[in-house]
Amino acid sequence: MTVISEFLERYTKEYDFYQEAAKICAQKCEGLLKHSGKRGIVTYRAKRLDSLQEKLFERNKEKSYKTIDEIYADIPDLAGVRISLFFPGDSLDVAKAVREEFRVTKEKEFPKDSSPPKYDKRFSGYAARHFRLNLSPKQLQPEQLRYSAANIEIQLASVLVLAWAEVEHDLVYKPLSGVLSSDEYAILDELNGLVLAGEIALERLQRSGNYRLGKSKEKFNNHYELAAYIFENLGKHAAGIPLGRVDVLLKYLQYIKEDKPEFLERIIRKLPKEPKDISISEQIVDSVISGNKDLYEKYEVIKREVEENNPYFEITFFTSRSREEKNIWDFLNIWIQLEKTIRENWSAISPHRGTPRAFSYSSLFECFHNDPDLFEKIQYVRRIRNKVVHGIEDVSIDEILKGKSVLESIIQDISNKLEIKSKPAKAIKQKKKK
């Protein structure tokens, strides 16, 4: 038995494994698109046995496989997922989300990383990004952990390019009726030119829609419109910052009856500079709920309602386990007290006028940069708070208990500072009375 035959026999038994790995990956990609307000189609497959056999025989002419491991290393797409975007302009944002969601081991960009074409082309041909990756164990259920070992390839491109590439690949690289004529090659190249023109039209269509939504005064009909509005109004200021859970944000804005551009414009205008790991949606929510326990509680309910109707994505809740729930709410109550303390005493604490809507990294730095130890403590509990409120990742009971203790010491420190500041003023008043 040759090494290729041995590999194919083994793959036949593993086919269902790769099919399920591709399915899980596709579901997570569906979630990424849905929650970030990007439009597209996600498909998946395990590589067909006949297609794999043909590919191995062809590649063996150059590779001369000696072992099964060599074949596994050479074929990255036994499990494959394809993300076909409606708007090419979303490619960079979705690529960033893929890198954050999965363990990417290699990334290729076409046409830059393409091999030499089989015919002379006037147009650039296939334009896409390919990611070789594995599922992250922390994103999997216990019974799914074995699928983190599967090598998966994600192809990311516009729906137009992928449709053209499917036609070209079958005609040029898998010819069923002989080698194509020069005229047929020219027609394929012409079609590629039309596809590229179509992508330009799609980009213009997206810009036009974003501009219309940016000027609209009506309620947002869906989270796609909300995402487009945010993108249009933030523009370059949001470069490199993830959009976050726009679906949750819209539900929350609907709950507080502020799902109109007019309200969001006021929030966005005052968004502070944050580290890039805090998404735009989270920053907006923080601006709304700051210092209000009722709004914190409702935000948790909204998250749960959205997730119960979502088969693709998981998020951490902090009201699911009684012991943890009590400790977490104890922590949050103290955090809310801290927000109120800073807000009520902002003029005494900060050299800048105007109380911020939410206590961001930059606003807290304004207040406490002269006390590095206090500032570091605040940043420590703020990271715990963000994990808890936005479900970024699990938080242990030990973290919560330590966070509560640190929060209490922070409030005491701030109270002491305020008391010291108020004493000179009291002394002056007393002297005047005398």
Is it the case that residue 269 has pLDDT exceeding 80?
Answer: no
Please tell me the predicted confidence (pLDDT) of residue 272. Answer: 66
Mark whether 198 and 330 lie in a shared domain: no
Please tell me the predicted confidence (pLDDT) of residue 316. Answer: 47
Q: pLDDT-based confidence at 428, cuts 50/70/90?
A: very low
Is it the case that residue 40 has pLDDT exceeding 90?
Answer: yes
CB 193 within 8 A of CB 123: yes
Is it the case that residue 181 has pLDDT exceeding 90?
Answer: no
Q: pLDDT-based confidence at 348, cuts 50/70/90?
A: confident
Higher pLDDT, 286 or 363: 286
| Burial class of 55 by CB neighbour count within 10 A (0 to 12, 13 to 18, 19+) | middle
Domain membership flag for residue 209: no
Domain membership flag for residue 61: yes
Is it the case that residue 21 has pLDDT exceeding 80?
Answer: yes
- Residues facing residue 82 across a β-bridge: 43, 155
H-run or E-run covering 401: helix 397-433
Higher pLDDT, 268 or 102: 102
Mark whether 135 and 246 lie in a shared domain: no
Higher pLDDT, 204 or 104: 104
Spatial CB neighbours of 68, under 8 Å, sequence gap ≥ 6: 3, 6, 7, 10
| Burial class of 69 by CB neighbour count within 10 A (0 to 12, 13 to 18, 19+) | exposed
CA dist., res. 133 & res. 202, Å (int): 29
Mark whether 303 and 376 lie in a shared domain: no
Please tell me the predicted confidence (pLDDT) of residue 318. Answer: 46
Higher pLDDT, 346 or 427: 346
Mark whether 198 and 248 lie in a shared domain: no
Please tell me the predicted confidence (pLDDT) of residue 393. Answer: 65
Q: What percent of the chain has pLDDT over 90?
A: 32
The DSSP string of 325-384 is: HHHHHHHHHHHHHHHHHHHHTHHHH-SSSS--SS--HHHHHHHHTT-HHHHHHHHHHHHH
Higher pLDDT, 178 or 199: 199
Q: Which of 282, 315, 348 is at the close of a domain?
A: 315
Is it the case that residue 378 has pLDDT exceeding 60?
Answer: yes
Q: What is the mean pLDDT of residues 274-286?
A: 80
Please tell me the predicted confidence (pLDDT) of residue 426. Answer: 45
Please tell me the predicted confidence (pLDDT) of residue 309. Answer: 64
Q: Measure the CA angle with vertex 10, ends 8 and 16; round to 5°.
A: 100
Among 77-91, 112-126, 263-277, 371-385, where is mean pLDDT lowest?
Answer: 112-126
Domain membership flag for residue 256: yes
Mark whether 41 and 147 lie in a shared domain: yes
CA dist., res. 354 & res. 346, Å (int): 8
Domain membership flag for residue 211: no
pLDDT digits (tens, 9 = 90+) for 80-101: 999 999 999 899 889 999 998 9
Domain membership flag for residue 91: yes
Please tell me the predicted confidence (pLDDT) of residue 176. Answer: 58
Mark whether 296 and 325 lie in a shared domain: no
114-118, 288-292, 334-338, range with greatest mean pLDDT: 334-338
Give backbone dihedrals phi and psi of 70, rounded to 5 degrees, phi first.
-65, -40
Higher pLDDT, 217 or 91: 91
Sequence-distant contacts of 428-431: CB under 8 A, at least 24 apart: none
Number of neighbouring beta carbons within 10 Å of residue 31: 20
Is it the case that residue 246 has pLDDT exceeding 60?
Answer: yes
Q: What is the mean pLDDT of residues 111-124?
A: 60
Number of neighbouring beta carbons within 10 Å of residue 364: 19
Q: What is the DSSP letter of 314?
A: -
CB 362 within 8 A of CB 273: yes
C-alpha dist (Å) from residue 297 to 267, 319, 408 = 21, 9, 21
Query: What's the whole-number average pLDDT of the chain?
Result: 82
Domain membership flag for residue 90: yes
Please tell me the predicted confidence (pLDDT) of residue 358. Answer: 60
CB 386 within 8 A of CB 282: yes
Domain that holds residue 231: 216-315
**DSSP H stretches of helix in 147-260:** 159-168, 182-215, 223-234, 246-255
3-12, 123-132, 193-202, 339-348, range with greatest mean pLDDT: 3-12
Mark whether 300 and 253 lie in a shared domain: yes
CB 273 within 8 A of CB 306: no
Q: Which of 315, 350, 381 is at the close of a domain?
A: 315
Q: What is the CA radius of gyration of the chain?
A: 27
Mark whether 311 and 220 lie in a shared domain: yes
Mark whether 298 and 423 lie in a shared domain: no
CA dist., res. 130 & res. 315, Å (int): 27
Mark whether 250 and 390 lie in a shared domain: no
Mark whether 191 and 335 lie in a shared domain: no
Higher pLDDT, 409 or 232: 409
Half-sphere exposure of 214 (CA within 13 A, CB side): 14
Residue 300 carries which side chain, given as an amino acid letter? Answer: E
CB 198 within 8 A of CB 160: yes
Q: Tokens 């390919």: give the residue.
A: 130
Q: Measure the CA angle with vertex 136, ends 150 and 242; round to 5°.
A: 130
Among 27-31, 141-145, 261-265, 366-370, where is mean pLDDT lowest?
Answer: 366-370
Q: What percent of the chain has pLDDT over 70?
A: 81
3-class secondary structure, 108? strand
Is it the case that residue 115 has pLDDT exceeding 70?
Answer: no
Mark whether 172 and 309 lie in a shared domain: no
Compute, in degrees rounded to 10, the torsion defined by CA atoms 144, 149, 150, 153. Answer: 110
Domain membership flag for residue 210: no
Q: Tokens 């539900």: give the residue.
A: 251
- Residues facing residue 154 across a β-bridge: 81, 131
Number of domains the chain is built from = 3
Among 103-112, 208-217, 225-234, where is mean pLDDT lowest?
Answer: 208-217
Report, in this order, helix, strand and coil percent for the chain, each rounded to 5. 65, 10, 25
3-class secondary structure, 420? helix
Q: Which of 174, 204, 234 is at the close of a domain?
A: 204
Residue 93 carries which side chain, given as an amino acid letter? Answer: D
Q: What is the CATH number of the domain that holds 9?
A: 3.30.460.10
Q: Report the residue count for the chain.
A: 434
